[in-house]
Amino acid sequence: MGKPLAVVTGGAGFIGSHMVDLLLDEGFRVAVIDNLTGGRLDNLTHHKDNADLSFHQRDLRELQPGEPVFKDAKLVFHFAGIGDIVPSIERPLEYMSVNVMGTVQVLECARAAGVEKFVYAASSSCYGLAATPTTEDHPIDPKYPYALSKYQGEQAVFHWHKVYGLPVNSIRIFNAYGTRSRTSGAYGAVFGVFLRQKLAGKPLTIVGDGTQSRDFLYVTDVARAFYAAADTDITGRCYNVGAGNPQTVNKLAALLECDTVNIPKRPGEPDCTWADITRIRTELSWEPQLSFEDGVALVLENIEYWRQAPLWDVESIAGATKTWFQYMQDD
């Protein structure tokens, strides 16, 4: 009997490419679907001679039930989609199309293939300005179209479970970081911004006073959580995934050993993100393994990856976030 097949959408992207690594190590054949708008083929080049890996450049919304790439698939991990806050405010139709309807197309392909488990990459942004630590039963309050689109994608996943019996689980990711995080596109996650600034010898642009904290989790621990959600008889569940140990932006800046400059605090941003990870610990026996300090050290060992990323400064950030200040508001 041959190796089982896993399909990874967004498998050339940040978390998806690490998922590919893990699945190959676990003895799977892996089919990657990615349109390369956010992912990079060089995230997979260390597997270029691996016959167990295939790549398919496709738009999610073009996928149809019966697609050959899904034939005999045992698992589907759905990471593909578009991220970032400000572009979602500016282009809500695109976000709803890709992140909701794209998810529905993948669900239908998975259903037609009779997969054993479908695991969805959800976002903790669905909680809005949440009470902390945040449990999975916290009220849902998406603040911008990206958050709404990811939550509606998750709702579709659970609807396919309820109506069609598709075995699914969902992982609500808090603040993933690590090697291969995105280097292009809109102003976004703090790590990519800071690493490019460090390479250029520029000060790190700290939003507000830097005391805000984020529940950073290293990407290989995120991939392990997705695998745990697939490798279980439990189905129809959502799980928070973070370290359960928030770190301040000031601490990150200190670990990067750079000068800093402060820029205005933005409305609608939480002072703290903090995942209550009791459920995934209890039900799936998953634990974060890599400390924040060790994770940052691994990123710094690979800092050249961010050499071609956009270089942001006070002025360009102000321009890029103008829409944010126009539409976002604090509760």
- Hey, which residues are catalytic here? 146
Sign of torsion over alpha carbons 158, 282, 134, 204: negative
The residue whose two tokens read 């050290």 is: 297
